[in-house]
Structure 1
Amino acid sequence: MEANPTSKQTIIDNETQREKEEQLWSWGAGTDGQLGTLRLQDEHLPQLLNVPSLSSASSVSMLACGGAHVVGLTSSGKVLTWGRGNSGQLGHGDMDCLLSPKIVMSLESYCITQVSAGWSHSGFVSDERCVFTCGDGSFGQLGHGDYRSHCSPVKVSFFVNKHVEQIACGMRHSLVLLKDGSGNLLYGFGSGKRGQLGISIDRSKSVNAPEIIRGFDDVQIITITANADHSAALSADGELYTWGRGFGATSDFLSPQQSPSSSKFSKVALGWNHALVLSDNGEVFMLGGSHHGMLSNPEITILSKHLSDGAVLERVPGLDGIKVVDIAAGAEHSAIVTEEGAIKIWGWGEHGQLGLGSTRDETSPQTVSLGDEVERKDGTVRVYCGSGYTYAIRTFFS
């Protein structure tokens, strides 16, 4: 549930060399304000948002979608949040819900480079490599050495003077990736009852301070992600590691397990019971059960890759000849973006999170229309999923 890191140099290059127009779209569950539409209701079709708090020079460039709240990161390193705030996860010093994006003023003096949203907590990394957390801390998922909740972002003292790269927030746990002189180190804190912390051969109780995750000796981890009781990481060589709650009928993993595959992977997205994995050549694989059609083809095929514990990494059918450039997973729905900029989505649809104008589930990828489609070849689309809602950022360059 996290936005990818950015860099100040990339921001400068994009802003100075080319003018751009960005559109922010949302659909699905909206009864906590998480769609940013100013309405407390579900939306079955994509809604184009108007965000008056942003200027043309500081648009939302990345998103992290949590249980019912959203964290937005602007091109200038500022943070906006909206949606459910009952645990302080919005970081505004209160526990109010917000129907539209609002800048987190306590982070105004920092340039934030990466954000993440869990079920009811949030994490932020600054360009000075510090990490901040806020929201529900009752399982130790904020990493402050206690079980207190915080309504404003608080710097995690354990990582002071350390080089933090990323934070990933799951349902009740968090992961932090940092770089030291010898390579990368990975830490976990929060609930560990399903092995999602990866810190022990036993089922850990809640851990309220960061503990190192073993099993990555001589492995350079470059990306981490978390959702529900799952954790995952990708190495620089494109290898996939998962731990925590087992997918489908498989047992829980109490420590990181590499998924054997001849493919090299560039991105992983976790749902509650499934995962999507994007290979470096644009193919999408799924891991997990078949609840609500979130796996397009629950039958094992000759394209399936069996993991050591019996789980199956299966290629998504219906995408032959289509190169995929982005993936996202909600609680029980999935979304992808093709090389041509088309959004395709499937799975659980009860709240309209598929954006197809209905509440039906879909068992195969369906194309989502973002309003009146405009033929502009020079642009990009990125997609993000919360527990029952979906966002897209469409960018046009000129």
Structure 2
Amino acid sequence: MEANERVKETEEKQEVWSWGAGTEGQLGTEKLQDEHIPQLLPLLPSISRLSCGGAHVIALTYGKKVLTWGRGASGQLGHGNMVNSLEPKSVQVLSNFNITHVSAGWNHSGFVSECGQVFTCGDGSFGQLGLGDYVSQSSPIKVSHFASRHVYQIACGMRHSLALLKGEHGDQVYGFGSGKRGQLGISKEKVKAVSLPQSVSGLQEVNVSSISANGDHSAALSSEGNLYTWGRGFGGAPDVCCPDRVISRFSFKQAALGWNHVLGLTDEGDVLMLGGSHHGVLNNPQKDVLVNQDLTEEQVKKIPGLNKIKVVGIASGSEHSVLITENGEVMTWGWGEHGQLGLGDTCDHTCPQLVNIAQNAEHQYITSSKVYCGSGFTFVVRACRPKQT
């Protein structure tokens, strides 16, 4: 264990909270039921990152090892079988690798090692595993197409995947899987599916810092703060087959994709939303000047009720949204049928609502928090400073 990890473990304690849809074990509560208010999970190894999919979760520890739980019927947990898991279990096939990035899709998973190797498992019926076939896998398999390249990130959507490569010849994004809504970005025309990674058009000159995928959408952020989206059109707009830059006076540092909307977090701590015409629609939204160049009159909506509130993190499920403020408060809105808003009910909400997460009596104060969303569930990971003894 590295010195900074020992310091983290001795000076801070970590809490993991979950709520929402839980009938396939995805909440990690060891119960097969929905939870309408935040649930504190049993002690887990210190987690550096989570990724939540359709009904499964991938956890990456500070030791660069992988745990998974939840729905496993397509092999997406990587345990060598196709069964659900009520509790976090180590992915043994990856135990000899240092994993630095993970992503959970609807029914498939992706993992990136420290040396740039990519592994995938789960549903492969649309080619989303990138293995050159349409076969599902219950254990992580190395994507040989990238054998001589260094992959930095992977992003898994509903039935497609993206990979971000870094190298001396510049950044490149690759897409594979279903392309029927243009979400692969590999051609000006829609493609049914591809099972081998192909280069995304239009990003070759862009310094890409991160990629995202959810539903039939794809997105990329540049190091300059530009946001690019492609795939299914937002707000009833036409599908987009190649990345389009969202024209804006704002610089973005994070993007979160839902099935019908995208959130953008600006450098100033403001949150903007494009789409959201279903459960996440806002009441009387203020319109801002963020316009996609190919969506003539389409404008994003500034989230109401957040005046003078600085936001430091965002996440999106299929049709619900979550944000965290600089004070560590968690707010949610959108679809609430499974309790994924954490408000104690199953109602939809069109404006951000404060979630009551209990303060552990042993902990003095929250030092940092991160939020994550699956299709109908939510996770919060908090670092807390314990009381002095």
TM tier, smaller: over 0.9
Give the Å deviation of 1:94. 0.1
- The match for 1:44 is 36
User: What is the CA deviation profile of residues 147-172 of structure 1, one whole-angstrom value per residue up to 9, with x for unaligned ones?
Assistant: 11100000100111211100000000
Per-residue CA deviations over 1:296-342 (Å, capped at 9, x if unaligned) read 33x45343533331322221111010110000000100000000000
Cα distance in 1, alignment partners of residues 193 and 326 from structure 2: 42
1:157 to 134, 144, 147: 144
Code of the residue aligned with 2:241 in structure 1: it is L
Kept in 2, the 8 Å contact 1:296–1:365? The answer is no
Structure 1 spans left out of the alignment, 5+ residues: 1-7
> Which residue of structure 2 aligns with residue 243 of structure 1?
230
Shift of 1:35: 0.5
Q: Which amino acid is the alignment partner of residue 307 of structure 1?
A: N
Q: Match for residue 286 of structure 2?
A: 301
CA contact (8 A) 2:263 2:316 kept: yes
AA in 1 matched with 2:122 = G
After the TM superposition, which residues 85-234 of structure 1 pair with which residues of structure 2 at under 5 Å, given as runs?
85-234=72-221
User: Which residue of 10, 13, 20 maps to 2:4?
Assistant: 13
Q: Give the CA deviation at 1:20.
A: 1.5
Query: Are 1:38 and 1:99, in contact at CA under 8 Å, matched by a contact in 2?
Result: yes
Distance 2:344 2:64 in 1: 35
Q: Which of 368, 371, 378 is the matching residue for 2:358? A: 371
**Counterpart for residue 65 of structure 2:** 78
1:349-390 deviation per Cα after TM superposition (whole angstroms, max 9, x unaligned)? 000000010001111111111124668445111110000000
1:261 is aligned, of 229, 235, 248, to 248
Distance 1:301 1:317 in 2: 7
**Runs of 5+ in structure 2 lacking a partner?**
none
Aligned partner of residue 201 in structure 1, secondary structure: coil
TM-superposed deviation, 1:181: 1.2
1:59 to 24, 46, 54: 46
Kindly provide the CA deviation profile for residues 43-64 of structure 1, in whole angstroms up to 9, marking residues without a partner as x.
Answer: 001100004xx4xxx4122100
Normalised by the length of structure 1, the TM-score is: 0.93
Using the size of structure 2 for normalisation, the TM-score is 0.95
Distance 1:305 1:190 in 2: 30
C-alpha RMSD of matched pairs (Å): 1.5
Greater CA deviation, 236-245 or 360-369? Answer: 360-369
Shift in Å, 1:397: 3.6
Q: Please give the per-residue CA displacement for 1:102-161, whole angstroms capped at 9, x wherever unaligned.
A: 111111111110100000000000101101000000000000001111000001001112
What is residue 19 of structure 2 aligned with on the other side?
27
Which AA in structure 1 matches 2:4? D
Shift of 1:248: 1.1
Q: Secondary structure at the match of 1:303?
A: strand
| Deviation at residue 289 of structure 1 after TM alignment | 2.8
Runs of 4+ in 1 over 6 A off after TM superposition: none
TM-aligned CA deviation for residue 87 of structure 1: 0.2
Write out per-residue CA displacement over residues 211-245 of structure 1, whole angstroms, 9 at most, x where no aligned residue. 00110132100100000000000001000000000
| Matched residue count | 382
